[in-house]
Amino acid sequence: MAEIQIGDAATAGLKLIARRPLSVLAWGLLASAYVTTILVLFGGGLIASIVTLAQNRGTPPDPAQIFGLIGGFMGAVLLLGIGLVVIGAMIQGAVLRSELEPDRRAFASLRLGSQELWLIAVNFVVGMILWVAQVVMAIPLGIVTIAMGASGVGLGANGHDPGTVLPMMAGAIGIRLLGQLVILGVTLWLWTRLCMGPVMSFREREFRLFESWTLTKGHSGQIFVTMLLVWLMLLAVGIVFWIIAGATIGVTIFANADLQNLQALQSIPPAAWIGKLLPLVVVFSLLLVVGVGINNALVWGAVARMYRQLHPEADVATTFA
């Protein structure tokens, strides 16, 4: 019976980064370029509208300006969401392709075809399953905790001894916390059983989500430990990124007196203070590029390697393809 080699799977993303660093940067650059494009198209107008409203405090705002601000914001969010779903599938596909089809290296393994469309479909269904499961579990939990909390409030209002009321309120809080842990545990378990669906759909160019349930049977614990190690790596990377971001914010604000004074900031044109924030924008853009590439490489590199370990015929098929 095939088994998951936890150490090999957890470090598959690190090996991929070491093996193809430029491709990993290209994945992050694609996402960063798209986000930057949306910000350029919509950001200037939105910022100008917000600054104008701030400068005209105390006077009734122009309805056309309010509707324009809302419309621009909604348009930016819509385009950003749709684009990132497509780009996310392209990057996810590139990671899976790097692990499962290593000979297809052109264009950083990035493609937009049937495999990526299947990834979008499967990811959507997985997200819906996890969301529905959380809602189903949250409804009875909410009813129980609200009922206990209301009973405690009622007892307190009727003059009952706090020694009776407080334990009931503490019990409601405890049940809520315990219930949230159960919901989290069930969600993680469901993900471990369904996580091979995107890989199988990508590999076979068909919807293969529920076949993941069979493939991962008896391996949930190994998958969980593997992804826990991946999460710890991502946590370490995130801490480094937050330190860099925090230092950059501090230096940028300290070096620009205008950024320390909201009144002064409102009195200068948006283009001027945007220029003052340029170092911050550059650093955050670089962190986004590196972070997106590393995150996808670590997560989906590990999942793809576990698929290879559980489905060794895939390596044979690749060898003789």
Quickly state the pLDDT bin for 264 (edges 50, 70, 90). low
The one-letter amino acid code at 135 reads V
Q: What was the pLDDT predicted at 61?
A: 61
Average pLDDT of the segment spanning 296-313: 92
Contacts of 22 (CB under 8 A, 6+ apart): 108
Residue linked to tokens 């407080």: 166
User: What is the secondary structure of 239-304 as a DSSP string?
Assistant: HHHHHHHHHHHHHHHHH-GGGG-HHHHHHS-HHHHHHHTHHHHHHHHHHHHHHHHHHHHHHHHHHH
Q: What was the pLDDT predicted at 60?
A: 64
**Separation between Cα atoms, residue 215 and residue 229, nearest integer Å:** 21
Task: Give the model confidence (pLDDT) of 113-141 as tens digits.
Answer: 999 999 999 999 999 999 999 999 998 88
Task: Give the model confidence (pLDDT) of 158-214 as tens digits.
Answer: 555 555 556 666 777 888 888 889 999 999 999 999 999 999 999 999 999 989 999
Task: Give the model confidence (pLDDT) of 142-153 as tens digits.
Answer: 888 777 666 655
Contacts of 307 (CB under 8 A, 6+ apart): 100, 196, 199, 200, 203, 215, 314
Q: What was the pLDDT predicted at 321?
A: 38
Distance of CA 128 to the CA centre of its chain: 15
pLDDT at 319 over 60: no
Contacts of 290 (CB under 8 A, 6+ apart): 25, 28, 241
Does the CA dihedral 218-224-229-234 come out positive or negative? Answer: positive
Quickly state the pLDDT bin for 316 (edges 50, 70, 90). very low
Q: What was the pLDDT predicted at 154?
A: 60
Q: How many CB atoms lie within 10 A of CB 265?
A: 17
Residue linked to tokens 């350029």: 40
Q: What was the pLDDT predicted at 259?
A: 56
Quickly state the pLDDT bin for 292 (edges 50, 70, 90). very high
Task: Give the model confidence (pLDDT) of 59-108 as tens digits.
Answer: 666 666 666 667 767 777 888 899 999 999 999 999 999 999 988 888 99
Q: What was the pLDDT predicted at 182?
A: 92
Q: What was the pLDDT predicted at 220?
A: 92
Task: Give the model confidence (pLDDT) of 32-53 as tens digits.
Answer: 888 888 877 776 666 666 656 5
Task: Give the model confidence (pLDDT) of 241-263 as tens digits.
Answer: 989 888 887 777 676 655 555 55
The one-letter amino acid code at 245 reads A
Q: How many CB atoms lie within 10 A of CB 210?
A: 13
Q: In three state form, how does the secondary structure of 246-261 look? A: HHHHHHHHHHCHHHHC
Q: Kindly report the pTM of this predicted structure.
A: 0.82
**Separation between Cα atoms, residue 65 and residue 271, nearest integer Å:** 20
Q: What was the pLDDT predicted at 7?
A: 93
